[in-house]
Amino acid sequence: MSLLDAGPHTVTIFIQEESTDFRGNIVMRPSTTGVVVTSCWMQPVASTRGAFAALKVADGQNVAVAYKLICKGSKTPVGWWSRVEWTDNTGKLRKFSILGGPQARDFSVSTDHVSCTLQEMR
């Protein structure tokens, strides 16, 4: 048994898809249809070191929050242009863009997972 088998969170992942912009270029974007993924972990990033802070307050108004999403199974449909939605334990719907990752780890059956860093969209 692994901690990855029973995560307490459920997220909706809007998988990345190809689209054509107004100039005819092929671009990537999140789809309009979400895929529900259960038994995930949404963990706040606690470190303030690196390229961004876990909680950033600018002029006392803007708060940007980063989370780590961890899902069992390296085939979880998350990509660089995906969007993730999660309803937190207070009932608030939170929307995230992909900031770092996704990184698939399939070293063994018990540790098979994908993780990525998310930035809340506000």
- Residue range 35-51, pLDDT digits in tens: 999 999 999 885 444 45
Q: Which of 120, 35, 95 is nearest to 71 (CA)?
A: 35
Asked if the model's pLDDT at residue 55 lies above 80, the reply is: no
**Residue 60 half-sphere exposure toward CB, CA atoms < 13 A:** 0
CATH class of 3-41+67-120: mainly beta
- 52 Cα distance to chain centroid: 16
Mean of the per-residue pLDDT values of the chain: 83
